[in-house]
Amino acid sequence: MKHKACLTALLGLFATGALAVDLNTDALKAMQQEGLDIVEQAKSWQSFELDVGEGGQCLQIAGPPNKVGANIVLRNCNKNAKNQQWTFDEDSRLVSHGDTCIGVAGNAGKPGANVVTQECSGQNHQKWRLDAQNRLHNELKKCLQAAGKPGEPSGNVISQNCGGSPNQVWK
């Protein structure tokens, strides 16, 4: 009889504990989402505008921010456009709102290669820095450049040898 009472008490404790875990699972999920929201808000989103005249042309993904393989182009700046907002992550990658990164298509070391969105990786052609001349250059020493005649940028963005072109200066 004594053992039966102990067994009943233990089963009662286990049942109560199992219920507490179920309740805590929901609380943990809510706390996790809140944490993700805080991290998202803490990111320093910015746009990059080509610094040539009064054009107001910004780096933009030609499509939704999460589309891998989308072309990087220049479009009129729009501070509300999510596909024009970027953040540098801890690995020096330019990351979009869709968690895609700016990278170089094809032969990343070749001047004139097209710039597109890619799945983020540790590759050098996805690691960007803004230098003292306001050029965005990657670890391969290639700069983001508006294609076309300097001062008259076209819609496409390419990776080019860094130099003095105004089509490589971003603000």
Reported as a single tens digit per residue, the pLDDT across 49-77 is 887 655 688 999 999 999 999 999 998 88
Reading across the β-sheet that carries 113-119, which strands appear in turn? Answer: 86-88, 94-96, 100-104, 113-119, 157-161, 142-146, 136-138, 128-130
Q: 21: pLDDT confidence band, cut at 50, 70 and 90?
A: very low
Q: pLDDT band for 79, please (50, 70, 90 cuts).
A: confident
Task: Using DSSP bridges, classify how beta strands 72-76 and 57-61 pair: parallel, antiparallel or unpaired.
Answer: antiparallel
User: What angle is formed at CA 103 by the lines to CA 100 and CA 105, rounded to 5 degrees?
Assistant: 120
User: Using one digit for the tens of pLDDT, what is the confidence trace for 105-114?
Assistant: 999 999 999 9
Half-sphere exposure of 84 (CA within 13 A, CB side): 17
d(C-alpha 119, C-alpha 102), whole Å: 9
Against a cut of 0.85, is the pTM above it? no
Whole-number mean pLDDT of the chain? 83
When pLDDT is cut at 50, 70 and 90, the band that residue 11 belongs to is low
User: Residue 154: pLDDT above 80?
Assistant: no
DSSP string, 108-123: TTSTTEEEEEEE--S-
Q: How confident is the model at residue 26 (pLDDT cuts 50, 70, 90)?
A: confident
Q: Which of 75, 59, 46, 55 is nearest to 145 (CA)?
A: 59
pLDDT of residue 86: 94
Closest CA to 89 of 122, 113, 131: 122
* Distances 43 to 48, 89, 118 between C-alpha atoms, Å: 16, 9, 20
Mean pLDDT for the stretch of residues 72-85: 91
pLDDT given at position 1: 55
Cα–Cα distance measured from residue 164 to residue 30, given in angstroms and rounded to the nearest whole number: 51
